[in-house]
Amino acid sequence: MQGLLLKTLHRSKLSHVRKLLIILLFFSTTYHGLSQNTFSVVYHNQNMLAGSGRSVFELGDGYLLFSVQTSWDSSVAAVFATKFDLQGEFIWEKEHRRTRNIDPGLIDPFVSNGNGTYSCALSDFAIGSEPDSLFLYSFNSEGDTTSTLLVNVAGAEGVRDLTATADGNYLICGVCTLSETPYQEIACLRKVDASGNQLWRRTWSSVRYILNAIPTSDGGYLLGAADFLYPDWGAIIKVDELGNQQWMKFLGGNAETSPSQPVELSTGEFLVPAAWQSTDTVHSYQDQYSSLYRYSPSGELLSRFDLQYGNRAGAVLIRPDLEGGYWLCTGIYETARDPDLATTIWRLNSAGDTLYKNRYWYYGGYAATNAATYGMTPTSDGGLILTGLAKQGINSDQPLLGSTWLLKLDQYGCLTPGCQSVGVNDL
């Protein structure tokens, strides 16, 4: 085990002098004979303004992180590609910006194309009456763009997620324009080819947003959706290969913790991370359970496992591990605890039953929030790497500063070796 490493790095590139503060907790273990590193890193660029990680991918010699941060000149929201080595050390960072704000979506919105390139959909927008622009961006492993394709220009082009399809195309999830006069927007699923040409578009008036989509074994897709009408905050929608609806089920919970990128089991059943809220809750409309739902291929609810209860609790991402089970991450606001928000990592078996959990945060103090729940990728050493937002508390040196958090865990979901033997850990 290596100790706590504190470094302040000063680098320059193309007249931009970047200051990077990295505080790195680093351990090394082995998995099936492979060396396995763990670390917890927080970083931001020179302007010291808000940023958060969105997706992270494993490379042969490190990790490629995509984040949204304030641009180097502090004028707009921009996409950044950042390279870290296998120990979590910063290597380089590249900015991708336009003249207006750009947003790829929040929950793991970048996809790997399987050929060393990565893609996302981007909404280009400004506050005011100007229409939005929708783009399809692709990047190589060096963080450079390989294409920036315009898909559409309309009053509303909101992006929540991008999904790669088996035929080499993409699904863009979000919101579209229903009519310009009078102005109306609508939940939208759009299929585009690799050149950004629209192949078809499907819309729903019964929900507010299409949040995500996963391919299913029958050639169709399972969608996550959100509305703002209590108690039907969240929904899942099964569609065929052309986006035509086959069934829809409302889950409950609030729109902040609506269904997030479920997984399909070998049986054809679906595990759906989301939230559940009782209609007779006695506290507030934000008090609820982070829950894991199981649905049949025909949309029948088979079970719901309630994991945690509290303010804006929610299960966010689920991913298969290398042992036939699953990783699940959840979050909950606990204002009576320090910090207010931490990330809980659950280990599930192949049936979706919980084995143990570990709880992590980077910043402590009142109002500190730690959400490593925006992007999660299993790694080849049996572990996983997560990214998201770590925000300092109000009594810190930089109150409420939001920074990108990168968290690498071992095959047991541990930052420190052996934590799985305890069962529940606060780290």
Q: How far is the C-alpha of 48 from the C-alpha of 366, rounded, in Å?
A: 21
pLDDT of residue 10: 26
Q: Give the angle 293-207-311 at the CA atoms, nearest 5°.
A: 55
CATH 2.130.10.10 matches 109-260:
yes
So where are the chain's domains?
Answer: 1-88+283-427, 109-260
The residue with tokens 């919970």 is 253
Q: Residue type at 265? A: L
Q: What pTM, to 2 d.p., does this model score?
A: 0.88
pLDDT for res 35: 59
User: Exposed/middle/buried for 4, CB within 10 Å: 0-12, 13-18, 19+?
Assistant: exposed
The 209-215 sheet, strands edge to edge: 209-215, 221-229, 232-239, 245-250
- Residues 50 and 384: their CA atoms lie apart, in Å, by 25
Relative to beta strand 77-85, strand 101-103 is unpaired
> CA angle, 107 as apex, 52 and 345 as ends, to 5°?
85
Average pLDDT for consecutive 10-residue bins of the chain (427 residues)? 26 31 48 72 80 96 96 93 96 96 95 97 88 97 98 94 97 94 92 98 95 97 86 87 97 70 92 83 71 95 90 87 91 68 89 87 86 92 94 88 94 85 50
Distance from C-alpha of 67 to C-alpha of 90, rounded to nearest angstrom: 14
Question: In this structure, what are the phi and psi dihedrals at residue 95, rounded to the nearest 5 degrees?
Answer: -95, 140
Neighbours of 275 (CB within 10 A): 32
Backbone angles phi and psi of 130, in degrees to 5: -70, 145
Dihedral angle over CA of 257, 63, 322, 115, nearest 10: 100
- Coil vs helix vs strand at 307: strand
**Per DSSP, which regions of 242-367 are E strands?**
245-250, 263-264, 270-276, 287-295, 301-320, 326-333, 341-348, 354-360
- 299 three-state secondary structure: coil
Per-residue model confidence (pLDDT) at position 427: 42
Handedness of CA 159, 162, 165, 167 (dihedral sign): positive
Length of the chain: 427
Is residue 114 packed enough to be buried (19+ CB in 10 Å), middle (13-18) or exposed (0-12)? exposed
The answer to whether the CB of 82 falls within 8 A of the CB of 69 is: no
CA distances for 264 relative to 60, 168, 240, angstroms? 28, 20, 15
Nearest to 204 by CA among 242, 244, 169, 170: 244
Phi, psi of 206 (to 5 degrees): -85, -10
